[in-house]
Amino acid sequence: MNAGIQGATFTVVNRCQSTIWPGILANAGSQPLDSTGFELPSGETRTFQAPPSWSGRFWGRTGCQFDPSTNQGTCLTGDCGSNQIECNGQNAKPPATLAEFTVAPAGGQDYYDVSLVDGYNLPIVVEPMGGSGGTCSSTGCVTDLNRRCPSELRSACPRAYSYAYDDASSTFTCSGADYMITFCPSSTR
C-alpha cells in the first residue's frame, strides 16, 4: 500500500459473466491515467496509479463491438461517444453507474462515491484498502435497479449517490487508501 504518499492505486476487477470495457475520465485539471478505456474480460483485473490530487470517474461499458483492425465501434450501455476503445476525455452516456474519486494530497482525505445520478447499467462496489480515518468503508450498488424500479423510484441502494447533493449518506472519505473497483461483485462465473 502506498499510504497516500504517491496518490492511490486503483484495481479494476471484472466479476461479470462477460467482458466489459471500463471507461475512465479524469476531471478538469487532472491528468489522464494510463488508459481512458480498455477491454476487461470476465475474471480479469487491471491496476492504475493515480497521482495525489487526481479526481475522476470509472464506469463500465457493456455490449461493445469494436473492429479489431481499427479499434472503432460503440457500446450498448455506458458508451463514451469516442467511437474507440479509449474514451479520450469523453464521458459516459447515461445510463451508467459511476465510481467517482478525489485523491487527496499526502496526509489528506480522499473522497469517493458510487453515483447513480447518471442512471444504472452495472453493479459496482468500491472497497478502500489499507486506509484509515473518515468513513473508510466500502460502498456501491449490487442490486439490479433496472429490475426493481420504479414503485415511486425508491432507493434500493442507500449507500450509493442517487441524486445531486445526496452527500450525507453516500459520500465516503478515507486517508492513505488504495481502492478496488469491482464490477458485478456478487456474480459467480
Q: With contact defined as beta carbons under 8 Å apart, do 40 and 21 qualify?
A: yes
User: Residues 188, 78, 60, 8: what is their CA dihedral angle, to the nearest 10 degrees?
Assistant: -160
pLDDT of residue 159: 53
Nearest to 183 by CA among 131, 144, 129, 154: 144
pLDDT of residue 152: 44
In DSSP terms, 183 is beta-bridged to: 14, 124
pLDDT digits (tens, 9 = 90+) for 54-69: 999 999 999 999 998 9
Eight-class DSSP state of 40 = B
Q: Which residue segments constitute the domains of the chain, with CATH numbers given?
A: 8-183 (2.60.110.10)
pLDDT digits (tens), the chain, 189 positions: 444 457 999 999 999 999 999 999 999 999 999 999 999 999 999 999 999 999 999 999 999 999 989 889 999 999 999 999 999 999 999 999 999 999 998 778 999 999 888 888 999 999 999 888 778 888 887 666 555 555 444 474 555 545 554 555 567 788 889 999 999 998 544
126: which residues sit within 8 A by CB, 6+ positions away? Answer: 99, 112, 113, 114, 138, 139, 140, 172, 179, 180, 181, 182
pLDDT of residue 121: 92
pLDDT of residue 157: 57
